[in-house]
Structure 1
């Protein structure tokens, strides 16, 4: 157990320093603008600032995620053809599918990268806040005084950001009751934003032929499984950590909305909506808009028969063949 703990500490230590550095930078900024350094508002806003900083750094990975997700949608008809052709041979099907992924530049695991990279940050922030609240334990750049200030800070008057829904479990106009109300609001917000983000992707940025098959079934499963998982796990997380995760979800939803609206996948409802907006914008500026219609080649016309010119009697006599055999 000691060896495993050493490995965990070796991995967590750089994260403690990175997260605490960003957190304290935001805290210093909010202190300079006049907020109480020991108040919950300064620390809560610092958590939001930490979230925005992390999500901004993850934008390149999010772009890769969007591209990979789009490619996965577009190659679904080819995947289904491979399944029909090699359904009896699982090994050959796997080989041909991986070849298709490689040829199309698709990484089926790229869509998981942002959330996989956020999970260590999420749990490091949880441990940072939990230990600061319980033992005044300092990690990273946090000093003992800053750890005490962070762990004991309160928002909305008397709600500790280190308390969780499950730890409070006392309804009523008491601090614990208010913790449960705020934590429940954040858990429901986290669940709703997770659901709406996934629903937005399926409803607007998936072509009709990609709404069936294994990939579509996987997306439908995630649509309901992820919100439930986050909802059940959220009751054990402190208010400060829920604030981080809810802010991150709102960022994801807004970022995805922007990408889908301005760069939708071909053949999707979002692409049709963008084309209509572009036509409306062109009409507004007085441009001539041609409706997109499929060009159908015209069938070849039959060759026109050349009619002979009418000749006069004199012309016919002059063009008559010479008389043979002396006949007049």
Structure 2
């Protein structure tokens, strides 16, 4: 880890400068040598970095959604060019270019944070070794070494020996308890972030290998962070825990305000939007109007959740407009009521077993009446006078096989 951190030593100066500036601010409030002053300086560093990375986060969301949409097409390309890897790669790149998708965009926030993360690790390692680094001079170095967070020094690690922890003015028990709790919180926040992404913000109508990969990462990432966390100084654990909580909150906001089409989150969002329109009779908020615009623009390509929302508006006598508002529409209400009436009038289709059971019961009940009716009809037929010169009705049925029914032609004299 120290070797990797040294590769990013070029950025240690700006990172140490930012920390020192925040330390001056919080030192005036909590005291220069307190853990609050140094801990909040690290937290503020994370917040500043994450604010600067918001544009990359937006690109990450778009790229992730595009990758979800393209998964069926990508799978078809892989099946079609299974034996030609070069052609498969060419078709994949062509698909990415046509749709404007960059697979690496989903990793941009993590990649952009990496230099700052390793630079902070390098700074804290220097503090633990009592070495000057960046803009941190000897007085700031002594102040940072005295700072403790719940009894654990900023530069202490879970795997430190008792002698190393004693040199920083703390006990090994305090360090391991604090670091263990922070590692568990860091892993739990990572798991919850990935879980809410999988359970709420994934298009449930598309089953692709991408979803299985994300599900595996949901369990693998927390384990990786837990294993790596035992080698992180307390200050780095503060940094990583803060960035995980920021990511979780940022993602929760995106899921609630701009969910993935076809996901459970979209169903919940449009349900809340329909309730708001029912209460106020209009679409309130620019974000919600943009959502309605997108639904109107899709036309017949809407998913089931969006059709349900449009149907709910129609029952209220409203129809979504192209500008994102809703307007009164008697036609939409009539169509919604007519469709509901037709669905109510349509009888339910019985199963084959029920139809057979009903037929058998009906046949059993009507057997006696049928037999009685047939006897009566036969008696009436016998009482009717038979017209002269006409054969009986049963004579044609009793004709020999091979003979034509009805009156026979006379045979030719030569054949008599």
Shorter chain as denominator, the TM-score bin is: 0.7 to 0.9
State the distance in 2 between where 1:222 and 1:264 align.
21
Q: After superposition, what is the alpha-carbon deviation per residue over 1:300-319, rounded to whole angstroms, capped at 9, x for unaligned?
A: xxxxxxxxxxxxxxxxxxxx
Tell me the alpha carbon deviations over residues 133-152 of structure 1, each in whole angstroms, 9 at most, x when there is no partner.
Answer: 222x1221111211221133
Does 1:175 find its partner at 2:168? no
Q: Unpaired runs of 5+ in structure 2?
A: 164-169, 284-308, 315-331, 336-416
Structure 1, unaligned stretches of length 5 or more?
297-328
TM-aligned CA deviation for residue 113 of structure 1: 1.3
Decide which of 8, 22, 25 is 2:18's aligned counterpart.
22
| Distance change >3 Å, CA 81–CA 9, structure 1 → 2 | closer
Q: Find out whether 1:98 has 2:93 as its counterpart.
A: yes
CA contact (8 A) 2:30 2:37 kept: yes
User: Do residues 187 (structure 1) and 183 (structure 2) align?
Assistant: yes
Distance 2:241 2:199 in 1: 22
Q: Which residue of the partner structure matches residue 59 of structure 1?
A: 54
Q: Distance in 2 between matches of 1:37 and 1:270?
A: 46
User: Shift of residue 169 of structure 1?
Assistant: 7.2
TM-aligned CA deviation for residue 285 of structure 1: 1.3
The CA deviation at 1:216 is 2.1
Counterparts of 1:236 and 1:10 in 2: how far apart (Å)?
Answer: 18
Q: Is the 8 A contact 2:189 2:248 kept in 1?
A: yes
CA distance in 2, matches of 1:23, 1:8: 17
**In the alignment, structure 1 residue 148 sits paired with structure 2 residue 168:** no
Which residue in the other structure is 2:234 paired with?
Answer: 239
From the superposition, tell whether residues 152 and 127 of structure 1 become closer, same or farther in structure 2 (CA, over 3 Å): farther
Q: Are the aligned partners of 2:256 and 2:269 in contact in 1 as well (CA < 8 Å)?
A: yes
Q: Which contiguous aligned blocks of 4+ residues in structure 1 show a shift greater than 3 angstroms?
A: 7-11, 286-290, 292-296
Larger relative CO (CA 8 A, sep 6+): 1 or 2? 1
Is 1:12–2:20 an aligned residue pair? no
SS of equivalent residue, structure 1 residue 203: helix
The offset of 1:273, in angstroms, is 1.3
TM-score, L = length of structure 2: 0.64
Which segment is superposed worse, 238-247 or 280-289? 280-289
Distance 1:10 1:222 in 2: 27
Deviation, 1:293, is 9.3
| Structure 1 residues 1-328: aligned runs within 5 Å | 11-13=8-10, 15-32=11-28, 34-135=29-130, 137-156=131-150, 158-167=151-160, 175-213=171-209, 215-287=210-282, 290-291=310-311
The change in CA–CA distance for 1:271 and 1:8 in structure 2 (over 3 A counts) is closer
How far, CA to CA, are the matches of 1:183 and 1:266 in structure 2?
A: 40
| Worse-matched range after superposition: 262-271 or 285-294 | 285-294
- Give the RMSD, CA atoms, in angstroms: 2.6
> Is the Cα–Cα contact under 8 Å of residues 204 and 270 in structure 1 kept in the other structure?
yes
Residues 227 and 210 (structure 1 numbering): CA distance in 2 closer, same or farther, change over 3 Å? Answer: farther
